[in-house]
Structure 1
């Protein structure tokens, strides 16, 4: 196997199974339609190998976990670097099995790939603390990227380090409060008031 294939396999077949357990029936890949909705000027065929895994509850957690796979692929590397590929993967937790959780992560992943390729203007790729307008309902209007609580915030594979960013839906008032203070402060309030970082379509604001 190539360096890319070994790193890719290690993430999906070993590391993800250690972190999440069962990763479901297979990957839910990105499609051309996701990029078309964002008016992508160009779609790299490699992006269509990226996708989302769905991990059911198990003995260590009661939530469903959805995690991206692909942004940390070392496409052009031939030896380990500090960060593997783009250096991140995204995670979202829900109480029930939710199709929209896959769609949220696919949208954010496609957006990040377009950011990194310079197709979304002069903005940096997604990182900790970023907030993205992406509505689930009248209650949840944006997604915030933060350090996980019940999962490691980073892991390493053969090709380098990967940061795991948890996506959590936030209310309009939480979004405004995060702009005034910080995403970390809202994260702490969410954990204190709700016990974790689960995303749902309806939730009372913590601010």
Structure 2
């Protein structure tokens, strides 16, 4: 296998199964449709190999977990580096099995790939603390990126380190407080009030 293939396999077959357990029946791939919806000026065919795994609850976790796979592929190198590829993958938790969670992560991954490719202007790639407008409902209108609490914040594969950014949906009032204080402040209030970072379409604001 090539360096790319070995790194890819290590992430999906070793790291993900250690972190998430069962990664489901296969990957839900990123599509041209989602990238077109994001007004992609051009689409790298390699992006269409990226996707999301849907991981059912385990003995250690009663939530469903969804995780992207592909942004940490070392497409451009044959040697280990500090960070593998873009150095990130995204994670979301839900109480029940939810198809919309896959769509949310695919959309955010597509957006991040376009950011990294310079197609969204002079803006940095998505990172901890960032907030992206993406409405699930009248009460949950923004996706916030934070350090996980029930999963490791990073893992390593042969091509380098990968940060796990957890995505959690927040309310308009939570967004306003996050702007005045920080995303970390809202994260701490969510964990304190709800016990974790589960995303749902409907919940009461914690501020």
Q: TM-score, normalised by structure 2?
A: 1.00
Return the offset for 1:147: 0.2
Counterpart in 1 of 2:143?
A: 143
Counterpart in 2 of 1:11?
A: 11
Counterpart in 2 of 1:52?
A: 52
Alpha-carbon distance in structure 2 between the residues aligned to 1:35 and 1:26? 21
Counterpart in 1 of 2:105?
A: 105
Alpha-carbon distance in structure 2 between the residues aligned to 1:46 and 1:186? 35
Contiguous gaps of at least 5 residues in structure 2: none
Does 2:168 align with 1:168? yes
- Across the two proteins, how many residue pairs are aligned to each other? 207
Alpha-carbon distance in structure 1 between the residues aligned to 2:118 and 2:156? 27
Q: After the TM superposition, which segments of 4 or more aligned residues of structure 1 sit over 4 Å from their partners?
A: none
Alpha-carbon distance in structure 2 between the residues aligned to 1:36 and 1:14? 33
Return the offset for 1:146: 0.1
Counterpart in 1 of 2:118?
A: 118
Q: TM-score, normalised by structure 1?
A: 1.00
Counterpart in 1 of 2:32?
A: 32
Superposition RMSD on alpha carbons, in Å? 0.3
Alpha-carbon distance in structure 1 between the residues aligned to 2:38 and 2:62? 34
Contiguous gaps of at least 5 residues in structure 1: none
Alpha-carbon distance in structure 2 between the residues aligned to 1:104 and 1:165? 14
Per-residue displacement from partner, 1:114-168 (whole Å, max 9, x unpaired)?
0000101111000000000000000000000000000000000000000000000
Counterpart in 1 of 2:95?
A: 95
Return the offset for 1:7: 0.2
